[in-house]
Amino acid sequence: MSDNYGVKDIRTLEGIEAIRLRPGMYIGSVGPEGVRHITLEIISNAVDEYLNGHCTECSVEVGDLEKGEFIVITDNGRGVPFGKAEDGSETLVNIYTKLHTGAKFDSDGKTGYNTSGGMNGVGAKATNALSECFSVSSVRDGKHAMASFAKGELVKYKEEPWKNNDHGTSVQFRPDKEIFKEGIQLEYDALKKQLQELAYLSPGLTFKLTFQDKPTETIYSERGILDYIENLNKSDRLTSIFYTETKEDRVGVKLAMMYNDSYSDTYKLYTNSIPNTSGTHLTGFRTALTSAINAYARDNKLLKEKDANITGDELKEGLVLVLSFIMPDPVFSGQTKEVLSSGEARGVVQRLVSKEIKVWLDSNPKDAKAIVDKALLARAAREKAKKAKETVRKTDTKKRAVLPGTLADASSKNRKECEVFIVEGKSAAGSTKEARNRLTQAVFPVRGKILNVLKADLHKALQNAEINGMIDAFGLEVKDNKVIVDESKLRYGKIVITADADVDGSHIRALFLTFIWKFAPELIEKGYIYAAVPPLYKITMGTKIQYLKDDAALET
């Protein structure tokens, strides 16, 4: 290790250099997701213009990037400001090169950006810094300005008069192969899906996508997230759609919710049109929903007094949710903005949504009951699974200390040559033990009738002493609520069911085979199960035990 570490080793990275050296800090990934991220940073600027009432159309053209073509994103918003800044520098150049430079820091909305996702002043700079070449063209106030860059460094800037009253911004760039070593091509399906989501969140904003040689597609939504939630739902509905759109000062919530008959939840979260995976806005909604459902269930006697309140987890199954939240100055966890961490978002969403949900539940009693019933069904299933898991833990073969005491085991260490006889009661066990070959033949008596498992689950089956004993004796394992047949751990090469040739004997044989067929069918498929010739209890010492594979019994 060098001892020369000192002042000369300290570096200060400026703007573009910092982004190029540590791109993952700014865009999260330098793989395909990273290429899509820097593209969406530019598209989101057009969406910000729409959110503030100044953009109706955004076109996205994607050429063959590997062949030197470009991504071109054009909108008809107000155009990016340009001209000399107070220090004499070019404003347009600053916006795309100097970190934390922009108009979106003005939280009182004087610039027109009442809500925006781009609050860090980094997004477009990251796209510029991580592009082999990048240019921006802005038209506004009867003038046109253009700046071009290479790997974030200014190459050319010019301004000129413009003859008509056009306005808008066009950005053209090609991702840098030095940064995106896995490839710079955009994934068509992922990009189209993202544009469709943005269209749902921006009703009235038209996206036009031209991807290489594909024909131009128009992506548009008139009803917004109502169209979105219907598109998300892939199962049969249990309820109608709950929709609310509320606003308080400069904070607003658009929310669509429904329940279907599936066992999973589907949700899409956004803050200022930026997609999130979780956050305080989701927490606020879940608190509002849980509180409203419990109040309704208590008031309408859908929950008994002794019943515990319905939990948020129990309300997840079958939930389809789209939540679009807008606020000034949102705080995210990281530059990629996947998690909203603004503390006030939870209280705001909870307050704005709670009243609307209560009104909807009171107005739609069938929907309300369907949600409560779905949650209680989820509770019952979870409790049943918990009991099964506890039973499995108790019966896991790794925790079994000894073999069943009623088992008269074989002494051979070569387990493949050994066989075990399942006999009916102690009487049959006694005579069979006298007739067996102790080296290779074991005897396991079954007391009474084995549990009929045809309609029972494993957790109930494991509560039966006879079934538990056979699992231990055979060398089976119980893991993850399943009976596992590991041939290397089986204790016998043949498992032989014997019983008297009468009604009770036939019943025992049928119940035994039902247990094997339901929980360990591999034993049948691989030829481990046999049926012996009855009645075995008449065999005396010195008589050779004979067995045959009873195909008829197995089929029965």
For the record, the structure tokens of 433 come out as: 């033990």
Report pLDDT for 338.
86
Say if residue 96's pLDDT is above 90. yes
Say if residue 309's pLDDT is above 90. yes
- 537 secondary structure, DSSP code: G
Average pLDDT, the chain: 84
Say if residue 535's pLDDT is above 70. no
List the catalytic residue out of 64, 383, 396, 502: 502
Say if residue 335's pLDDT is above 70. no
* 362 given a catalytic annotation: no
pLDDT (tens digit, 9 = 90+) per residue, 28-71?
A: 888 888 999 999 999 999 998 998 889 999 999 999 999 999 99
Q: How far apart are alpha carbons 419 and 496 in whole angstroms?
A: 7
Report pLDDT for 538.
37
Q: Count Cβ atoms within 10 A of the Cβ of residue 357 and give its class: 0-12 exposed, 13-18 middle, 19 or more buried.
A: buried
* 9 given a catalytic annotation: no
Mean pLDDT of the 405-422 span: 88
Report pLDDT for 477.
87
List the catalytic residue out of 166, 178, 299, 504: 504
Order the strands of the 153-161 sheet from edge to edge.
153-161, 143-150, 131-140, 168-175, 71-75, 57-62, 206-211, 217-219
- Bridge partners of residue 157, in order along the sequence: 147
Question: CB–CB of 112/52 below 8 Å?
Answer: yes
Q: How far apart are alpha carbons 525 and 89 in whole angstroms?
A: 81
Say if residue 520's pLDDT is above 70. yes
Angle, CA of 469, 475 and 476, to the nearest 5°: 85
Say if residue 536's pLDDT is above 70. no
Q: How far apart are alpha carbons 344 and 248 in whole angstroms?
A: 13
Least confident of 70-79, 137-146, 241-250, 445-454: 445-454
* 299 given a catalytic annotation: no
* 383 given a catalytic annotation: no
Say if residue 543's pLDDT is above 70. no
Least confident of 152-161, 213-222, 382-391, 540-549: 540-549
Report pLDDT for 394.
55
List the catalytic residue out of 61, 132, 419, 500: 500
List the catalytic residue out of 419, 424, 466, 550: 424
The listed range with the strongest mean pLDDT (116-125, 169-178, 415-424, 496-505) is 169-178
Q: Please indicate whether residue 311 or residue 464 has the higher confidence score (pLDDT).
A: 311
Residue 545: band (very low, low, confident or very high) from pLDDT cuts 50, 70, 90: very low
pLDDT (tens digit, 9 = 90+) per residue, 355-379?
A: 999 999 999 999 999 999 999 999 9
Query: Could you tell me where the beta strands, DSSP code E, fall in 18-142?
Result: 57-62, 71-75, 131-140
Say if residue 108's pLDDT is above 70. no
Query: Could you tell me where the beta strands, DSSP code E, fall in 283-440?
Result: 319-326, 339-340, 419-424
pLDDT (tens digit, 9 = 90+) per residue, 217-269?
A: 999 999 999 999 999 998 899 999 999 998 888 888 999 999 999 989 999 99
Least confident of 34-38, 509-513, 519-523: 509-513
Say if residue 399's pLDDT is above 60. no
Q: Please indicate whether residue 236 or residue 12 has the higher confidence score (pLDDT).
A: 236
Tell whether pTM > 0.85. Answer: no
Report pLDDT for 51.
85
Amino acid at 341: S
Report pLDDT for 390.
66
